[in-house]
Amino acid sequence: MAGAGVDALAAWRELGSPACAPLLDALRGIDAAPGPAAIERLRREHGAGAVTAAIELSIARTRAAAKFGDAAGALWADRRGVEMASAPRVARWKAGRFAREGGRTVDLCCGIGGDLAELARRVPATGVDLDPVRAWMAARNAGVPTECADATARAREEDLAHADPARRDGGDRRILRTADLLPPLADLRRATARCRGTAVKLGPGMDLDAAEVRADDEVEFISDDGQLVQQVLWSGTLAAHAGRRTATRLGADGAHTVSGVPQVPPPTERPGAFGAAILVPDPALERARLLGTMAAAHALAEPAPGLGVLTAAGVPAHADVAAWFERFAIVEELPAREPTVAAWLAARGAGIVTVRTRGGACDPDEWQRALRGPGDAPWTVFVLRVGEARRAFAVRRA
């Protein structure tokens, strides 16, 4: 945590004063703490508490640039707060649903305010966090009131609620059960029972038990630039697709979203058979278990149960397929032996070779080193375990 004590909060508040501007300028752009001599010199000028906070802030801002872009330079945050915060594009996507519903909103366990800032742009919003420093940071970042309080200490009476319980324990291990979240999902449910709609941000790898998802809830998985980043449990009036799962892909080309009931993809007519293409799904689509929904709509099939990649008779050109799948045209199927594949690629002027795999069928780094050739032509090779057999495919991206 950023610091739960009064002294830590006082140090961060001091850091926000004009007198500490030279201190922040001196530490701008660092990605690690300076040496002991430099720290001692800064402490003589500014005090130990302010220097400790300034080092933490400066490192956090440097690391936040990948997630927050140019806004990172004005962010008030610590490193852990940056790690746990929603990226602006993801936070905007979720805030859009709150805006469509409308109403007073509370952001529980608001952290440094990544979600709160986007909520506050669309609805009247306040934040709550148990850590006084994080509550202060969120107020600075979002420009709205926050309070330092236990998110579950009283029943919330706002119209809508967003909650982001801690998903790591004190030992920095990922929490995998909702009962171990801080605070637990059941406690958040009770605290927000009077709200019309709620959203609880969860880790994308967390598996919810059937008893934890109500019949009218919606579970959404969100990817950002191809990386699976969040699972959101929507309840009440915020559950736009009640009783369904939703996959959402966010990227430079906008947002793509699909909802449905989980189903497995249809198998190929002959087990293990591949058509003309290998189709790799966006992780949100796969995690939401909606591969079957997309496959049924576009004549796609799965060569082997649980393989996680689909195939088709030709390379699909439909916009929905292009939005949700990386599409590769199969050029040649080869024996899954490094020397054989390397020789085939070398004969075709291969240079850098990208190796893709599923289920540990190979060590992709080792294969990439073995397959790289002296030529200029880039190639992609899939190494897949299909049933008991390991198979290799040389492909071109569609």
Q: Are residues 349 and 389 in the same domain?
A: yes
Q: pLDDT band for position 3 (50/70/90)?
A: low
170 domain residue, yes or no: yes
Mark whether 255 and 329 lie in a shared domain.
no
Domain boundary among 226, 259, 292: 259
How many other C-beta atoms lie within 10 A of the C-beta of residue 173? 10
Residue 386 has pLDDT above 60, yes or no: yes
The per-residue pLDDT for 168 is 83
Q: Residue 6: what pLDDT?
A: 63
Question: Domain with 230 in it: what CATH number?
Answer: 3.40.50.150
pLDDT, tens digit, for every residue of 27-46? 999 999 999 999 999 999 99
113 inside domain: yes
Is there a single domain that holds both residue 254 and residue 302? no
Average pLDDT over every residue of 234-257: 97
173 and 322 fall within a common domain: no
| 184/56 same-domain check | no
Secondary structure of the chain in HEC code, one letter for each residue: CCCCCHHHHHHHHHHCCHHHHHHHHHHCCCCCCCCHHHHHHHHHHHCHHHHHHHHHHHHHHHHHHHHHHHHHHHCCCCHHHHHHCCCHHHHHHHHHHHHHHCCCEEEECCCCCHHHHHHHCCCCEEEEECCHHHHHHHHHHHCCCEEECCCCCCCCCCCEEEECCECECCCCCECCCHHHCECCHHHHHHHCCCCCEEEEEECCCCCCCHHHCCCCCEEEEEEECCEEEEEEEEEECCCCCCCCEEEEEEECCEEEEEEECCCCCCECCCCCCCCCEEEEECHHHHHCCCHHHHHHHHCCEECCCCCCCEEECCCCCCHHHHHHEEEEEEEEEEECCHHHHHHHHHCCCEEEEEEEECCCCCCHHHHHHHHCCCCCEEEEEEEEEECCEEEEEEEEEC
User: Per the domain annotation, does 352 fall within a domain?
Assistant: yes
Out of 17, 43, 77, a domain closes at 77
Report, as an integer, the average pLDDT of 250-277: 96
Whether residue 391 is contained in a domain is answered as: yes
> Are 229 and 108 in a shared domain?
yes
Asked if the structure places residue 190 within a domain, the reply is yes
Indicate if 68 and 157 belong to the same structural domain. no
Q: Region 298-322: what's the mean pLDDT?
A: 96
Residue 75 has pLDDT above 70, yes or no: yes
Residue 272 falls within a domain, yes or no? no
How many domains are contained in the chain?
3
Mean pLDDT of the chain: 95
Predicted TM-score of the model (pTM): 0.93
From 31, 47, 77, give the residue that closes a domain.
Answer: 77
| Residue 16 structural domain | 6-77
What pLDDT is stored for residue 171 in this prediction? 63
HSE-CB of 98 using CA atoms within 13 angstroms: 31
Q: Are residues 100 and 69 in the same domain?
A: no
Q: Is the pLDDT of residue 4 over 80?
A: no
191 and 222: one domain? Answer: yes
- Are residue 358 and residue 380 in the same domain, yes or no? yes
In this predicted structure, the answer to whether residue 376 has a pLDDT above a threshold of 70 is yes
Residue 199 lies in a domain: yes
Residue 317 has pLDDT above 80, yes or no: yes
Give Cα 5 to chain centroid, integer Å. Answer: 30
Q: pLDDT band at 5, cuts 50/70/90?
A: low
Do 233 and 331 lie in a common domain?
no
Pair (146, 10) in one structural domain:
no
User: What pLDDT, on a 0 to 100 scale, did the predictor assign at position 175?
Assistant: 86
Q: Is residue 1 part of a domain?
A: no
* Amino acid 388: pLDDT: 87
pLDDT (mean) for 106-122? 98
Cβ(253)–Cβ(296) under 8 Å?
A: no
